Amino acid sequence: MTFAPHATTPIALVTGASRGLGKATALHLAERGVDLVITYRDQAAQAQEVVAAAEAMGRRALALRLDVAVSAGFEDFAGRLREGLAATWQRERFDYLVNNAGVGVHAAFAETTEEQFDMLVATHLKGPFFLTQRLLPLIEDGGRIVNISTGLARFTLPGFAAYAAMKGGIEVLTRYLAKELGPRGIAVNTVAPGAVETDFGGGAVRDNAQMNRQIAAQTALGRVGLPDDIGGAISMLLAPDNRWVTGQRIEVSGGQSI
């Protein structure tokens, strides 16, 4: 399935797309005919590799640096994005925003530090809140927003209390955005991945064979998720056939802990 014809080619902004789920999402969107703006924090070379891969598919793509944990930089980012849209596409707005960028912290509740907590707030809750707010003038009416949560907001595993709490906040925020942005025709949904084999959180799910087997045994489809599982689901959610879906939490976990 490809996207239906647009008056102009759709453009997606995917945060944290130099690796992992963000990279998979960006490349799945490129395969479906969507142009890309991707962001990275430190991995400029990896981000340019994603741009090159998208361009090899015939797409136009741009990489911009952004630290979602530093809201003071959002005004500057919006300016650079506006310049990039004008120079690359001769457009003032983009179509799809995927709030993906994030970091993981694994710490027991009793041992979670205030510094860790504040970092998670800034990255996973305050950042998406105020970045989306700042970018609203640049999102097309009829566009889409996808916020990334986690299966850990539904099921519980020790060591993720702070991280999951932030994602629970994102899920509530998604419903409010869907309500408030509905008059502009903007659909807003949450995708909640289960355990995925990436370098997120130190790569424990990918590299710890015992953990991997335990999670697979608790998953209906019998394995741990892969980045392509999540990227494919997000790109499907952004397809025109799903334009009537909004305010929803969609878990993509292979049936983990059901």
How far apart CA 257 and CA 235 sit, in angstroms, is 25
Where in the sequence numbering do the catalytic residues fall? 163
How far apart CA 170 and CA 146 sit, in angstroms, is 11
Contact 131, 78 (CB under 8 A): no
How far apart CA 197 and CA 207 sit, in angstroms, is 8
Q: Rounded to the nearest 5 degrees, what angle is found at the Cα of 125, between the Cα atoms of 172 and 142?
A: 60
Amino acid at 156: T
Contact 195, 183 (CB under 8 A): no
Output the CA–CA distances (angstroms, integers) from residue 28 to 3, 54, 154, in the order listed: 12, 9, 26
* Residue whose pair of structure tokens reads 């979670």 in the numeric block: 112
How far apart CA 128 and CA 120 sit, in angstroms, is 11
